Amino acid sequence: MGSKEEQQPLLLDARSSQDSRSNANGNGFKPAAPRLSSTSGSSSSSSGAGGASYFNPNGSGNGSLDSTYSSRALSQSSASTTGVETPDGIARPLSAASLRVRVEKQSQATADALAMYNRPPNGFEDYEEPDIWTPRGGAPLYAQHSLYWRLRLAWSQLLALILSSSFLIFIIVWALSIQVIAALLRLAPWPFSRVFIALGLLPPEGGVRLPPTNKDREWDDHKRWKKEKLVKDVRYYASTCGFEIVNEQVETEDGFYLRVNRIIDKEAQLGRHADGKGGFPVLIMHGLFQSSGSFVTSEERSLAFWLARHGKYQVFLGNNRGVFDMGHRKYSRSDPRFWDWNIRDLALYDLPALVDYVRRTTGYDKIAFIGHSQGNGTMFISLSLNMVPDLGTKLTYFGALAPAVFAGPLTTCFPFTALSTMDWQTWRRFFGVLDFIPLMKISYDLCPAYPYALLGYQMFAFLFAWTDANWLPRRKAKMFRFTPQPVSSASIFWWAGKEGFATRGCTLDPNAPRWYDGRFPPVSIYSGGMDFLVLTDPLIKRFQEQEEDVRLIRWKRQEEAEHCDHFWAADAVEWCFYDILAGSTEDIEATRLRYPEELEGNGKASARIISVFEEDVARKTNGLPQISTLTNKNLAREAEQDGDQTPTNASFNKGRFE
């Protein structure tokens, strides 16, 4: 794991040293009982609003810095950063809180370097009597589960609903106003854009972006989709393309139920291999405010369907906790404890549960993983040291679309600048302690499809600087049938609140000498030149200069691509899918475990079992190498490099890039 300097917690969190001292001294809240086992309930393991600061650099050898831990409990327990091995085979920290537990006392130099990540007071220590919320960020003190506290919670949530709804309406009106101004700019080149850039209301690079006219594609059959319905069921969109989706359920270690969509190709026979298994498994994860529905709304050219049909893979679409009205083993969705989590809990519990579920279901020891935005940002956190780096040993490939590790210039603009001034006390009064802006979920349930899609697009186009320049216009309404999805208020505070991601500029500690070790899987990065929300260049630089164990097998930058264009753009197949499936360099096919048939034949590498794609014709017409040719070249290169010695399953399990 490296030196003591390297063995340090990497994930940033929102609890402050002031909060911890306040609780330990008995001046604030009565801390919750410590969670000493990773199989306990979730109320003590959830992180809630935590997520905006680094661990306290003043921590000592066996002292915890979590505000939910009492000093007495800590003196009775021996915490370890290495954690315990759970039934799923992953060694986690003893709890989400133990990310701030130190075994080795750090040097003063390290403490000084990381002092900037100390969380300033969030207001909890200002109260001399127990409040309805704990310093963990959202869960009330249920020892005082009285009618008074219930009424107080209801009143605070009603007030938050009014305030947050007003904020949402303001954002939508502002976004529409920007569209009007953009239209005026097309008529007369007034210097409005410079004024807005100076005020910090528009991205500094882009200013007011005027989307070009969408081009029709020869392969697009408009008439075929005229009678398509706008529904909130991914199974309907699969059925229109000859696929079937099976809804399956996964339970995380802390009790949350997750929806998993399994793709079944009804038109192409999914053949079994000599060992009785199906195709190689691929897990795909969505971004913030999105769901698995994002990967099935582009007809046959959807990422999920493309990989299932042309790669003959077993494709699974994962969803984060709370999406699609999924529940919890103990808590209802109206319980603040249900929403007491942020990205740290997704990294500790959701991703490991999903990966292990796919492995158990398919019988493969390793799988491929593809994530968009927060979907890959969570994986980057999960694989970091002192989180769950063992998860990397279960992956053969990590595809990151628009990686959410470093913040882009958009986070320095309105409304992020306003949100970043809110401490948790202000945030919880404005946005509540349940889901973020409940009006979005209410609108999702009750609003007609087209108005909802229009308003949803306008809001996110303004917040994240999207345009529909690269999309097929007819797809936009169904794209936003699944966006936005409910997210906890505490999670958005981690991203946008005081000292949050928008302010820090990175999900991990950029000053840490090392984020990953040799367990990190081969990774491909896909970025967009018009993506103002996240930056990829600093991540690539970090990999090249500091992360010697990271095996970067591809970095592709599509200059005209925006944040969601790697799966929503009309040309996403050409921009991204071809490379993920079988590009000219290493990809899923080159990193996956080999099928038994491919290991036969006197040590000669046999051609992989996959039909010649219909798209080969189109690629040949456009002067591009055919996928089948690229695949054969890859296999020939493998045979030459291996001296005509076919690699064994064991060698692939160890990793082909050692």
Residue range(s) in the chain whose domain bears CATH number 3.40.50.1820 = 231-405+506-573
Residue 398 has pLDDT above 90, yes or no: yes
Highest mean pLDDT among 186-190, 358-362, 476-480: 358-362
Q: What is the predicted pLDDT for the residue at 312? A: 86
**CA 537 to chain CA mean position, Å:** 19
| Cα 658 to Cα 656: distance, rounded to the nearest angstrom | 6
Residue 276 has pLDDT above 90, yes or no: no
Residue 466 has pLDDT above 60, yes or no: yes
Mean pLDDT of 75-102: 42
pLDDT band for position 351 (cuts 50, 70, 90)? very high
Q: Which of 172-176, 333-337, 557-561 has the lowest mean pLDDT?
A: 172-176
DSSP state of 207: S
Residue 473 has pLDDT above 70, yes or no: yes
Total count of residues recorded for the chain = 658
Q: What is the predicted pLDDT for the residue at 463? A: 77
* 306-336 residue pLDDT tens: 999 888 899 999 999 999 989 999 898 888 8
| Cα 337 to Cα 327: distance, rounded to the nearest angstrom | 12
The kind and range of the H/E element at 445 are helix 438-446
Q: Which of 183-192, 244-253, 391-400, 622-631 has the lowest mean pLDDT?
A: 622-631
394 and 355 Cβ atoms separated by less than 8 Å: yes
339 and 487 Cβ atoms separated by less than 8 Å: no
- Helix, strand or coil for residue 290? coil
* CATH H-level superfamily of 231-405+506-573: Alpha/Beta hydrolase fold, catalytic domain (3.40.50.1820)
Q: Which of 10-14, 43-47, 233-237, 359-363 has the lowest mean pLDDT?
A: 43-47
Q: Which of 205-214, 540-549, 571-580 has the lowest mean pLDDT?
A: 205-214
The kind and range of the H/E element at 552 are strand 552-558
Burial class, 506, CB count within 10 angstroms (exposed 0-12 / middle 13-18 / buried 19+)? middle
Residue 191 has pLDDT above 80, yes or no: no
Highest mean pLDDT among 178-192, 203-217, 366-380, 404-418: 366-380
Which amino acid, residue 578?
Answer: Y
| Cα 447 to Cα 444: distance, rounded to the nearest angstrom | 6
- CA gyration radius, the chain: 25
| Cα 464 to Cα 652: distance, rounded to the nearest angstrom | 40
Q: Tell which residue, 384, 301, 310, 316, has the closest CA to residue 348.
A: 384
Here the contacts of 617-620 (C-beta below 8 Å, separation 24 or greater) are: 618/219, 619/578
Q: Tell which residue, 595, 567, 594, has the closest CA to residue 579.
A: 567
| Cα 632 to Cα 520: distance, rounded to the nearest angstrom | 27
Mean pLDDT of 20-27: 34
| Cα 393 to Cα 380: distance, rounded to the nearest angstrom | 14
* 214-241 residue pLDDT tens: 556 677 777 778 788 888 889 999 988 8
Handedness of CA 565, 571, 575, 578 (dihedral sign): positive
DSSP of 583-612, one letter per residue? -SSS-HHHHSPPPGGGG-STTPPPPPS-PP
Residue 251 has pLDDT above 60, yes or no: yes
Q: What is the predicted pLDDT for the residue at 633? A: 40
- Percent of the chain residues past pLDDT 70, beyond the cut: 61
* 174-190 residue pLDDT tens: 877 877 776 665 554 45
575 and 565 Cβ atoms separated by less than 8 Å: yes
Mean pLDDT of 40-59: 36
| Cα 136 to Cα 69: distance, rounded to the nearest angstrom | 10
Q: What is the predicted pLDDT for the residue at 404? A: 93
